[in-house]
Structure 1
Amino acid sequence: MDVRRELVGRTGPEAADADRPVESYTLVTGDGPAVTVWTYGATLVEVLVPDRRGRLDNVVRRLPDLDSYLDRARNPYVGSTVGRYCRGVRRARFDLDGVRYDLDRNDGAHHVHGGTTGFDRRVFAARVEQTNPDEIAVVLRLVSADADQGYPGELTVDVAYRLHRSGRLTFDYRATTTAPTVVGLTNHAYWNLAGGGVVDGHRLALNAARSVAFDADLLPVAGPPVDVTGGDLDYRSPRPIGGAALDNFFVLDDPAWAAELSEPSSGRRMRVVTDQPGLGVYSADGFADRRGGLCLEAGAWPDAPNRPDFPSVRLDPGGTYRQRTVHHFTVDEAE
């Protein structure tokens, strides 16, 4: 196990963290997968995984250079850590302990993925961590000031990418706060197990019998999640994605597994296990690289700060936000 550290470049004068060095950390197993993470946005840039012939391909979509990541028009959260709150908050506001908090409005009247200068636009500090000979990690830290994007409390966040020799990639999140607040983190990687092209030929399975019903703004409507049995969103048995335009949030009731994505031509298979209550699934139809990857975003339910009937996203001083999502990579030998 080894790690390579390189300087990617510097942020520009207009960046949220202006004129800061951006570093790349590549975790190497030596005889299998390798993972590259940048400190800008705590971004997952490469996941090299072998196919059934032993060929290594990058199975997450990436942009060509740092300038592309810095440009919002070219970077729809590609591989980034999303926070303080993933997905949407209706009317960009919520009440906590009788106090109204107004958030940055970056999606019409609403707040999405942490705001205009969310965690995806920040430069994290990084350190390498190795607690056993079979696993190595890069741990990225960000301190988000009180009132950042409207959120209460100073939030200290650690995002760890852990690579095991077996090919297991783990996202570990921790956060603490100085005041009552809300937190919901996720990773916004666009997965493509073929290493290129579109994801239509991939097969998807989801361990979910319910989804959160959305309105035209992709925010939850009143009422409980809906049963997907027998409908277009029933992926409990593996089936091809085809031309389905997915931008949905699925309820995860069984912690055994969340999703399984496979690609027949390469033989690559990725099984996702998480301790989170839901999974956002997005087929990248609005990305310039249309349908070039599939987002599988484990995390909090959308608009939960305004929905007491949804799983709580509250974090208080003295407590610790914890989240773990694991990606297991395997290869199907037979075509």
Structure 2
Amino acid sequence: MDSYILGNGNGMEVVVWTYGATLVEVRVPGRGGRQENVVHRLPTLADYEDRATNAYVGATVGRFCRNVAHGRFALDGTWHLLDRNEGQHHLHGGTYGFDRLVWTATTSRTEEHVSLMLTVNSPRGDQGYPGGLHAETVYRLGRKPVLTIGFRATTTAPTIVGLTNHAFWNLSGTDTQRAVDGQHVLVNAGRVLEFAEEQIPVPGPPAPVAGTALDLTSGESIGGVRLDNFYVLDDPASCAADLHDPSSGRHLRITTDQKGMGVYTGDGLAPSRAGLCLQPGPWPDAPNRPDFPSARLDPGHTYTSTTRYAFSVR
């Protein structure tokens, strides 16, 4: 396993490990110029390897992030059975998903940015998925305090794919050990998927959030609200989500080309609520829901996904 540090020369540094193509640290200045890490991290590599202590912290998740109900889906009339690692369901790529693999890394730099590309090859039948998949995760840091995470994938046979990053953000700085409760969260979404038990979407269209505890459109403090939901984004290219910490002055704006985003308040972390997971990506159980955006990828086509994390101080 190798560790890479990307720096922009203007007070921002990013630490990435090849294990799981994992985002381990994002160090940005706050009010007064104090640089701190603003993503939850685990103490050692052994903690990342231990599934009991690692809730996919900072990892690249795939082949398909989120869940697939009953660990099965059909393509062109053929049913495919996936590894069932969450009760009767398939979650975040399976027992040995992309978060458990050591990726191959190459670096590049220009006058404007530095990049780290990580690649992995998943053979046909890996965790039950059809087709061989070549996947790439690219971390790019420019001179401005903006981190871009991009994903690409190609396949040798029709398959499903949906990649995301599973970082838990805490703009107060992880050294403070403060929970995210005092931070202000805005999610640019007027609808949310309704879940049955075990986080499987129920039949029917997304539900409006107006007037409910799930309405995050005003950008207020999340307080003690427990969230583990999937939001249907309204205009993610201009703003998918804003996160602001009044104590440090740090502000994060997330923009993406994805149509939905998981929001999880990290209640299962140790310590609890040490970070907020804002996870743009495919819709839960999309392979079994023709009314959801498709997760299908065919040979000759390329899956792409890009999310930008722009930091400022207010």
Task: Give me the TM-score of the superposition, normalised by structure 2.
Answer: 0.98
Indicate the SS of the match to 1:240: coil
Q: Which residue of 1 aligns with 2:20?
A: 41
Indicate the SS of the match to 1:217: helix
Equivalent position to 1:258, from 222, 240, 247: 240
Equivalent position to 1:206, from 181, 187, 191: 187
Q: Tell whether the 8 Å contact from 2:4 to 2:15 is kept in structure 1 after alignment.
A: yes
Q: Which residue of 1 aligns with 2:36?
A: 57
Map 1:43-192 → 2, pairs under 5 A: 43-130=22-109, 132-192=110-170
Indicate the SS of the match to 1:323: strand
Hey, what's the Cα distance between the residues in 2 that align with 1:161 and 1:145?
A: 24
Shift of 1:216: 1.6
Q: Tell whether the 8 Å contact from 2:286 to 2:292 is kept in structure 1 after alignment.
A: yes
Shift of 1:47: 0.2
> When the two structures are aligned, how many residues end up with a matched partner?
310
Moved over 6 A (4+): none
Instruction: Select between 96-105 and 252-261 the one with higher mean Cα deviation.
Output: 252-261
Hey, what's the Cα distance between the residues in 2 that align with 1:31 and 1:102?
A: 48
Structure 1 residues 106-156: Cα deviation after superposition (integer angstroms, max 9, x where no partner): 0000000000000000000000022x3121110000000111000001000
Hey, what's the Cα distance between the residues in 2 that align with 1:75 and 1:286?
A: 10
Shift of 1:236: 1.0
Hey, what's the Cα distance between the residues in 2 that align with 1:53 and 1:305?
A: 48
State whether structure 2 residue 229 is matched by structure 1 residue 241: no
Shift of 1:224: 0.5
Q: Which runs of 5+ in 2 are unaligned?
A: none
Q: Which residue of 2 aligns with 1:194?
A: 172
Shift of 1:31: 2.3
Instruction: Select between 38-47 and 62-71 the one with higher mean Cα deviation.
Output: 62-71
Task: Give me the TM-score of the superposition, normalised by structure 1.
Answer: 0.92
Shift of 1:289: 2.0
Q: Which residue of 2 aligns with 1:273?
A: 255
Equivalent position to 2:205, from 224, 231, 246: 224
Structure 1 residues 47-72: Cα deviation after superposition (integer angstroms, max 9, x where no partner): 00000110000000111111111111
Supply the AA of the counterpart residue of 1:234. D
Hey, what's the Cα distance between the residues in 2 that align with 1:298 and 1:112?
A: 16
Equivalent position to 1:284, from 224, 248, 266: 266
Q: Tell whether the 8 Å contact from 2:10 to 2:144 is kept in structure 1 after alignment.
A: no
Shift of 1:329: 0.2
Q: Which residue of 1 aligns with 2:288?
A: 306
Hey, what's the Cα distance between the residues in 2 that align with 1:308 and 1:319?
A: 20
Hey, what's the Cα distance between the residues in 1 that align with 2:73 and 2:193?
A: 19
Hey, what's the Cα distance between the residues in 2 that align with 1:74 and 1:121?
A: 14
Hey, what's the Cα distance between the residues in 1 that align with 2:270 and 2:248?
A: 24
Indicate the SS of the match to 2:154: strand
Indicate the SS of the match to 2:181: coil
Hey, what's the Cα distance between the residues in 2 that align with 1:146 and 1:55?
A: 48
Indicate the SS of the match to 1:60: coil
Shift of 1:283: 0.5
Shift of 1:229: 1.0
Q: Which runs of 5+ in 1 are unaligned?
A: 1-21
Q: Tell whether the 8 Å contact from 1:32 to 1:165 is kept in structure 2 after alignment.
A: no
Indicate the SS of the match to 1:175: strand
Indicate the SS of the match to 1:149: helix
Supply the AA of the counterpart residue of 2:29. P
Structure 1 residues 220-260: Cα deviation after superposition (integer angstroms, max 9, x where no partner): 00100001112111111110010010000000131321000
Q: Which residue of 2 aligns with 1:215?
A: 196
Q: Which residue of 2 aligns with 1:15?
A: none
